[in-house]
Amino acid sequence: MILASKSPRRFEILSNFGIKKIKVVAAEIEEISDKEDLIEQVVDIAVKKGVEVAKSYPDEFVLSADTVVILDDEILGKPKDCHEAFATLTSLSGRTHEVITAYSLINKSRGIFVSSYDKTVVKFKKLSESEINWYIETGEPMDKAGSYGIQGVGAGILIDRIEGEFYNVMGFPISKFVDDLKKHGIKIQNIIEL
């Protein structure tokens, strides 16, 4: 399988699930979409990543994904610096937001094209300024959409509860992915064994 993503979290999720032969080939695309709907934008970007990499690997299963955090109909991306991480975490404090992960699975030679997304609702605890600063000092916010990682050291102080799949917030909704494969008549064993 080709993972069209440099995300170490996606690699970890897939490896832990039993997919052993994963080659990482990040898509070199501009991650923008002309779609109006936010979810359609995320799906569009995930598909573009997969299509780009599949051009070079037509006989391989190419899995691509894109994860965003949405608050007040705005996409919160990865922070550029500590100040932006602080502003993002402050805006999430005490509030509920959505995490959307879109993905595609493409195998050009077999005519396989699966595209979907999953949504998880996350409620943050009310955070103090010192808690936010402590979390930023861990370095965790810097490469993550929404400036946080659910699987990391700070999750215990950040998150009150989630509704939906944990792995979706981490970066790849493995349960939804497996269900979608079944709907398309693709056995997960076929992908694991490749």
For residue 76, give Cα distances in angstroms to 2, 50, 95, 110, 191.
27, 22, 14, 36, 32
Distance, in Å, from the CA atom of 54 to the CA atom of 56, rounded to the nearest integer, reads: 5
66 is annotated as an active-site residue: yes
* 161 sits in which H/E element: strand 159-163
Contact 89, 132 (CB under 8 A): yes
- Say which of 34, 44, 59, 66 is annotated catalytic: 66
Beta carbons within 8 Å of 100's beta carbon, 6+ residues apart: 38, 39, 42, 67, 68, 70, 117, 118, 119
- The three-point CA angle 124-7-87 to 5° equals 35
Active site residues: 66
